[in-house]
Structure 1
Amino acid sequence: MRHRLSGRQLGRKSPHRTAMWNNMVTSLLTYGRIETTEAKAKDLRRHVDAAITWGVSVHELIAKGDKVTKAEQAKILHARRQAKLVVKTGDALHRLFAEIGPHFATRKGGYTRTIKTRVRKGDAAPMAIIELIGLNGQPTAASA
């Protein structure tokens, strides 16, 4: 029975799915927008929102600079380590905490937009573009 199971299997085993989500989250944070299938885009939203929430949760503490207490330093370190479980490159992790977190600081979720685009020619899979809202899909100079 399938009671209370969330997410799609997408024809992959669990470790393969985990690696795929980590790679897709990293790519989305690096480039601002990616094209994938609709099913993957819908499931990717929850993984990206979780990662961005870690960046948003500590952006004010990071902005304080040197005036951070030991407890606040521990909170920042915890957020970085939790995000690092999903975001696999240093550039994307830096962008998450330096640019994306402060950008979405006043937003209460819903950090991505999914746009249905076309049907893929080879297998007729419905495709979609998933992008971060308000970042114009532009990679930074460090990530380009």
Structure 2
Amino acid sequence: MRHRNAGYKLGRNTSHRRAVLRSLVTSIVLNDRIETTITKAKASRPLVEKMITLGKRGDVHARRQAAAYLMTPESVDRLFAVVAPRYGARNGGYSRITRTGARKGDAAEMAFIELLGAEQELNEKAQKRAETRAKKREELQKQLEEQNAAAAADEAPKSEE
């Protein structure tokens, strides 16, 4: 029986589970949204909320506690400068888990875990990615047309001879 055994084991030993959760929390703080399995999302949600609460406190001790848990200094800076101020008037409930369906390879139930209020930043990132893709597509199309024109120019004199 699992009476009073809270938390998720995630099929890993203690050190591996802690490393996976630290990595997930760091990625969420850096990217505002990640896709993972539902169980990992549910396991990482309270940890993300604790990190944001530390960020809202904002003192040196809170920064050191966050730095001890998060994997990169950039994530700590982003937590205190960007993420935590977003939730100044909010008491908890900083994240959302949205189910996305089964993964193709092993049919694991997948979900997005995202920070609330980050929709504008995520939309800007997606728009920037779309613009970059369109620019690359145009450049590739130009190169293809130039190659076709060069090939056609090479073939034309040979057929006359």
Q: Residues 15-34 of structure 1: matches in 2 within 5 Å?
A: 15-34=15-34
Q: Which residue of structure 2 aligns with residue 97 of structure 1?
A: 80
* Alpha-carbon shift at residue 123 of structure 1 (Å): 1.1
The answer to whether structure 1 residue 43 and structure 2 residue 43 are counterparts is: yes
Identical residues among aligned pairs (%): 46
The amino acid of 1:100's aligned partner reads: V
Give the counterpart of 2:67 among 78, 84, 109.
84
| Count of residue correspondences | 124
* Alpha-carbon shift at residue 118 of structure 1 (Å): 1.5
- Higher relative contact order (CA closer than 8 Å, sequence separation 6+): 1
The amino acid of 1:128's aligned partner reads: A
Greater C-alpha Rg: 2
The amino acid of 1:80's aligned partner reads: R
Partners of 1:12 and 1:21 lie apart in 2 by: 11
The answer to whether structure 1 residue 138 and structure 2 residue 148 are counterparts is: no
Structure 1 unaligned regions, length at least 5? 59-75
The amino acid of 1:82's aligned partner reads: Q
* CA RMSD in angstroms, aligned pairs only: 1.9
TM-score, normalisation: structure 1: 0.80
Partners of 2:118 and 2:66 lie apart in 1 by: 20
The amino acid of 2:91's aligned partner reads: K
Structure 2 unaligned regions, length at least 5? 126-161
Quick check: 1:29–1:96 contact (8 Å CA) kept in 2? yes
User: After TM superposition, which residue ranges in structure 1, 4 or more long, deviate above 3 angstroms?
Assistant: 137-141
Partners of 2:42 and 2:123 lie apart in 1 by: 22
Q: Which residue of structure 1 aligns with residue 97 of structure 2?
A: 114
Partners of 2:22 and 2:48 lie apart in 1 by: 9
- Give the secondary-structure state (helix, strand or coil) at the position aligned to 1:85: helix
* Alpha-carbon shift at residue 54 of structure 1 (Å): 0.1
Partners of 1:21 and 1:52 lie apart in 2 by: 15
TM-score, normalisation: structure 2: 0.72
